[in-house]
Amino acid sequence: MQQDKALKSVTLQDIAKAMGVSRTTVSNAFNRPDQISAELRERVLAMAKQMGYAGPNPMGRMLRTGKTGVIGLVFSEALPYAFQDPVAIAFLQGVSSVCEKVKASLLIVPTLESDVAQMTIQQAAVDGFIVYSMPDDSEAVAKVLERKLPVIVVDQPNLSGVPLVRIDDHKAAREAALHLLGLNHRRLGIIAMDLLSDSYVGPVNSQRLERAAFEISLLRLRGYEDAMREAGLDFNKVPIVECPPRNSENDAFEVALTLLKQDPRPTGILAMCDILAIGALRAAEHLGLSVPKDLSIVGFDDIPLASVIRPSLTTIQQPLIEKGAIAAELLLGISIADRDSHKTATATTDKIPDFVMGGVFDLNENPHKVLETKLVVRESSGPAPIQLR
Amino acid sequence: MQQDKALKSVTLQDIAKAMGVSRTTVSNAFNRPDQISAELRERVLAMAKQMGYAGPNPMGRMLRTGKTGVIGLVFSEALPYAFQDPVAIAFLQGVSSVCEKVKASLLIVPTLESDVAQMTIQQAAVDGFIVYSMPDDSEAVAKVLERKLPVIVVDQPNLSGVPLVRIDDHKAAREAALHLLGLNHRRLGIIAMDLLSDSYVGPVNSQRLERAAFEISLLRLRGYEDAMREAGLDFNKVPIVECPPRNSENDAFEVALTLLKQDPRPTGILAMCDILAIGALRAAEHLGLSVPKDLSIVGFDDIPLASVIRPSLTTIQQPLIEKGAIAAELLLGISIADRDSHKTATATTDKIPDFVMGGVFDLNENPHKVLETKLVVRESSGPAPIQLR
DNA sequence: CTGTTAGCGCATTCAT
DNA sequence: ATGAATGCGCTAACAG
């Protein structure tokens, strides 16, 4: 008889009524074992099971408590691409490790720009958002901001008043370029990540640079530029081709080919991420060029694959996983130092910790977290060919 | 003045009051543009913005509508590992592509067994769950079932009445073994995935087999066994070592070494997943064995890396991405055929589609979806060494 | 087109 | 230790 009732969903109320106790008592049986006699609790739980009660409804609870125990994650790319991107994946590892630690769930919000559909952001029942590497003009980011929830941005965009976790892209890129320059390379080519979110593939002109919506790409480019200018190179003569890394390595391959078919051919390629660098590696192989004898290639990110492929990739290492972990920790208001002490203190509780609290989460203190990078020299870079200069 | 109010969060009510209209009107301004005059709507929206209204509170909405627009995903492994596992990642790609299509969000629920913490499952505000490859005795799965929401299981466990998306593991494994047997290999070794969730690494004995909680591992093992028995081999003499693939390739490497140091050395290794196979590849390399001349290796899954490494891996290909997509589509009650027509019909709506409806989601129709696999022969397998038999 | 009414299911005072 | 009352913020009927 109560079976059909189950279909229409049993509530706290129902089981309270069936037992002749109050809702509070039933609620306590589930949420506050110490506030109710063990015997009664047992009976309540038994009745609940018998009636097919699914447990306290999360939506009711969330509405009541105002907390969700969920952090929202917003990616710039289409989701399937994001899950193909080793950099994003590493970031996710970091985020998820922290989530797991504090028993928070992770809501991955699909957010196709241009669509009417950042509705998903408005609808997301979360305690805060992590925005991962979005363009400056993203509507999705605007929607996130409208939610007036705690927000952490990773990489970009740099919004005033919003904490940012990043690296010093300018400095890191400069270091990459200096590495090649120090090896006497004088003819360099650049494979850039997207400057705009229009999936354009091809040479970069000054208009694109001015309109650039991805600050990271711009910063890295400026880093390359500064190093080259310091070395006395005419940056205007340095070929720059743009290629969104998400389009798999094929585009990168093609783009690198165009670069390598120029006359005179570059002896060094600076790629703004490892995926692009790997595309260049394949292009070199395709053209019968030896790396690093004929051509040096420097990537960026140090994804796992970078150290595995042959020749292994010289690249800028950035702490990808840590980036995710720190973003999550900032959002959750957990200082790394406090973590362990807090953990044990919280461990006994069987409720979701109040991790997202206005108070704990202080926007003013340390709004930017800049992580360290370092150049990792591997096989893909070497001295410039002598006969060429 | 209303600024401080914002901190205590503005509600529909507040803005209705401030404008002297009803809550419904405000609600309509946000959710039903057609039910309200454009002019009034503009004014409402303007007032909302001015008062710092963050938009309709998702928790209130969810409680009211009973829908969340979210599908929950439960992994067996610790999250950071899951995001390292190419098989899980591919699965995620499939799931997320469908989510994106229907504008559903994806809630990744951390679910450490043994902890008091499948609380996260009870708290998850979702319309349904996808359970990805969990052990038979998982408490997390029990909690999911308690929620009485639509559930799709992928791979395992096989629960009566719960739709399952899987492959024919037994048949596929048998095919892998037959491949080696057909190449005249007679001394085979097996590297098995986990049979129990105790992170055990080492030889498999019969007790472990009996207690096995991962049905997939067992099915694959039986597939190997049947093939070998058909070929007249004494399966009891076939060495089997177990190694959870999530512990990176290092464990797999070690485990493969022990297998290869046996006397007489196996000429063929069957690995239950590509990660393990790659560990074996490294072990062979380490021992100076040539693959496939001295040793043949067959993997399982056909992860992207399998076709990239050298020697490329002979393996069983299973449609990993499709698996995720189909699981999501089943959960969302979207038949693949209907998808496109539905899409356009739904496109005009600006609400989340009622995708998770009891009616659409029919448990009885096609509860098991078995996807096709195929053996992909690459470089890692070849004829058994002649001198050895 | 607009307003009124009525809960959705829950956790939390504050009494007892 | 238990219960009664209150509203979290919203949307869906329905009535005007």
Nearest to residue A205, comparing CAs of A170, A175, A240?
A: A240
Taking CA atoms, what residue in A is nearest to B95?
A80
Distance CA B384, CA A143 (A): 62
A100 with B110: Cβ contact below 8 A = yes
Show Cβ contacts of residue A78 under 8 Å, excluding neighbours closer than 6 positions: A110, A112, A246, B100
Amino acid of residue B22: S
Q: Which pair of structure tokens corresponds to residue B322?
A: 């499709």
- Summary mean pLDDT of chain B: 87
Enumerate the residues of chain B whose CB falls inside 8 A of the CB of residue A84: 89, 93
Mean pLDDT of B296-324: 97
Total Cβ atoms within 10 A of residue B148: 15
Mean pLDDT of B15-28: 88
Task: Provide the pLDDT for residue A387.
Answer: 63
What confidence tier does A353 reach under pLDDT thresholds 50, 70, 90?
very low
Give pLDDT tens digits for B220-266: 999 999 999 999 999 999 999 999 998 666 899 999 999 999 999 99
Q: A with B: how many residue pairs have Cβ under 8 Å apart?
A: 165
Q: How far is the alpha carbon of A110 from chain B, nearest alpha carbon, in Å? A: 5
B125 with A68: Cβ contact below 8 A = yes
- Is A33 (CB) below 7 Å from strand C? no
- Summary mean pLDDT of chain A: 87
Query: Does A130 have pLDDT greater than 80?
Result: yes
Sort strands B202-203 and A164-167 into parallel, antiparallel or unpaired. unpaired
Task: Provide the pLDDT for residue A246.
Answer: 80
Protein residue minimizing CA–C1' distance to D1: A36
What confidence tier does B366 reach under pLDDT thresholds 50, 70, 90?
low
Distances B182 to B10, B174, B185, B239 between C-alpha atoms, Å? 72, 12, 7, 19
Percent of chain A with pLDDT over 70: 87
Enumerate the residues of chain B whose CB falls inside 8 A of the CB of residue A100: 78-80, 110, 112
What confidence tier does B348 reach under pLDDT thresholds 50, 70, 90?
very low
Q: How far is the alpha carbon of A317 from chain B, nearest alpha carbon, in Å? A: 19
Task: Provide the pLDDT for residue B95.
Answer: 98
Q: Judge contact between A192 and A144, C-beta under 8 A.
A: no
Distance CA B108, CA A368 (A): 27
Which of the nucleotides in strand D have any atom less than 7 Å away from a protein CB atom? 1-13
Distance CA A13, CA A72 (A): 32
- Which one-letter DSSP state was computed for residue A380? T
Is B63 in a helix, a strand, or coil?
A: helix
Higher pLDDT, B10 or A268: A268
Mean pLDDT of A228-247: 94
Enumerate the residues of chain B whose CB falls inside 8 A of the CB of residue A55: 122, 146-147
Q: Backbone phi, then psi, for A284, in 5-degree steps?
A: -60, -45
Query: Does B344 have pLDDT greater than 50?
Result: no
Give pLDDT tens digits for A3-37: 333 346 789 888 888 888 888 898 989 888 888 88
Mean pLDDT of A259-276: 96
Distance CA A344, CA A286 (A): 56
Determine the angle formed by the axes of helices A320-332 and A86-102, rounding to 10 degrees. 40
Q: Nearest nucleotide, C1' to the C-alpha of A44?
A: D2
Specify which residues B374 forms β-bridges with: B317
Show Cβ contacts of residue A387 under 8 Å, excluding neighbours closer than 6 positions: none
Enumerate the residues of chain B whose CB falls inside 8 A of the CB of residue A93: 79-80, 83-84
What confidence tier does A99 reach under pLDDT thresholds 50, 70, 90?
very high
Q: Looking at the complex, does the CB of residue B68 fall below 8 Å from at least one CB of chain A?
A: yes
Task: Provide the pLDDT for residue A255.
Answer: 95
Higher pLDDT, B142 or A354: B142
Q: Which pair of structure tokens corresponds to residue A252?
A: 């990168």
Amino acid of residue A102: V
Q: Which domains does chain B have, with CATH numbers?
A: 2-56 (1.10.260.40), 70-166+320-371 (3.40.50.2300), 169-318+374-388 (3.40.50.2300)
**Å between CA of A3 and C1' of D1:** 31
Q: Backbone phi, then psi, for A334, in 5-degree steps?
A: -105, 115
Q: Looking at the complex, does the CB of residue B202 fall below 8 Å from at least one CB of chain A?
A: no
Total Cβ atoms within 10 A of residue B157: 19
DSSP string, B84-130: T-HHHHHHHHHHHHHHHHHT-EEEEEP--TTSSTTHHHHH---SEEE
Give pLDDT tens digits for B253-289: 999 999 999 999 999 999 999 999 999 999 999 999 9
Distance CA B47, CA B24 (A): 15
What is the sign of the dihedral through the CA atoms of B233, B238, B244 and B247? negative
pTM above 0.75, yes or no: yes
Question: How long, in residues, is chain A?
Answer: 389
